[in-house]
Amino acid sequence: MSPNFQIPKIQKAAIVEATDAPLKLVDNHPVRQPSELKPGECLVRLECSGVCHTDLHARKGDWPSPAKLPLIGGHEGVGLIVAIGEHTQDSPVKLGDRVGIKWLAYSCLDCEQCRKGLEQSCPNNLCSGFTTDGTFSQYVVSWVRHVTPIPENLESFEAASILCAGVTVYRALKYSQAHIGDWIALPGAGGGLGHLAIQYATSMGLRVVAIDTGEEKRKLCEQLGAEKWVDFRESKDIVKDIIAATDGQGAHSAVVTAATGAAYAQAVDYLRNGGTLMVVGLPAHASLSADIFYTVTKSISILGSYVGNRQDAREALEIASRGKVKCFFQRRTLAELTETYEGLERGEIVGRIVLDMQD
């Protein structure tokens, strides 16, 4: 027998009404009712939602691509499916399933990009908390073919940040052309994406040089398996220090999760010949600057890596469910979202913040 869920008419939500406007926290935002769902849509009662630096960009409106306004942000939600639109055919999920809401909320699944596994680059995509309402509310509408089943042995608050931060770094490492025993440089290693990247990298047999600043982040990075640490504020020559830390030859690959142009400008210099630069972090206003002569003569590859597809998400969650990757997070309430944004902007958040959406 299918579960019978009581669905309220209103809910708590955090709304961005205009570009860079203060968050508006309300407790009377409408909940889409089951009768209002279209075929293929589902309603998810959220248990929790992670907070990502991308959510801050959506609120500030400082990316070249604008977010829809007004907007409910958030794209790392975990909860239960409580309704599915009538006439939905061959749904891969059912009522009561625990699922995740990712950055990629919807893609057509039939264009060239989707067929080739680049669903996240579908020209008709919708992104949670950016071009469609996201997970900073107690209920969210999503699509049955894009929600991600959560492994039974992975706790919801642990799973939340894997849905964006985890899958993003996992895919970047997967395509970084690094092999077992290679050195991987991780600028921003102590942050939300970086601390997960260390764990995915070590589970793949890679050797990590962590690049960040501060004693708290150093301890976390080393605890998670980083073999070498470079503090970019204390270093007098960061390129020289990274090369020295990687057998004197430089890293085989760099996955840059830091949202600064400087982190990219340095990478080509500290990569060894044949190295790969994975472009992941998204500064608001920055260009990728690389010396063309040395990029060519060192045979450097530069690859953009944008979140991940449905398969990447399942793989990233499966690795976490086996205990290979653990998200270090602080638990907060939706009422603390503004404070969380301020901490992100100052670069003070260690690990991730996950909001209890039913508190």
How would you write the pLDDT of the chain (359 residues) with one tens digit per residue?
457 899 999 999 999 999 878 899 999 999 999 999 999 999 999 999 999 988 888 888 888 888 999 999 999 999 999 999 999 999 999 999 999 999 999 999 999 999 999 999 999 999 999 999 999 999 999 999 999 999 999 999 999 999 999 999 999 999 999 999 999 999 999 888 999 999 999 999 999 999 999 999 999 999 999 999 999 999 999 999 999 999 999 999 999 987 777 888 888 899 999 999 999 988 777 778 888 898 999 999 999 999 999 999 999 999 999 999 999 899 999 999 999 999 988 877 877 899 999 98
- Of 350, 23, 58, give the one whose Cα is nearest residue 210: 350
Residue 217, burial from CB neighbour count under 10 angstroms (0-12, 13-18, 19+): buried
Report the amino acid identity of residue 124: N
Task: Tell me if 10-164+308-356 shares its fold with 166-304.
Answer: no
State pTM to two decimals: 0.92
Nearest in space to 188 (alpha carbons), one of 215, 217, 159, 226: 217
For the chain, the domains span: 10-164+308-356, 166-304
- Please, what CATH class does the domain formed by 166-304 belong to? alpha beta
Nearest Cα residue to 173 out of 192, 200, 191, 152: 200
Q: At what angle do helices 310-321 and 194-203 cross, to 10 degrees?
A: 80
Task: For residue 343, give both structure tokens.
Answer: 């901490």
- Structural fold of domain 10-164+308-356: Quinone Oxidoreductase; Chain A, domain 1 (3.90.180)
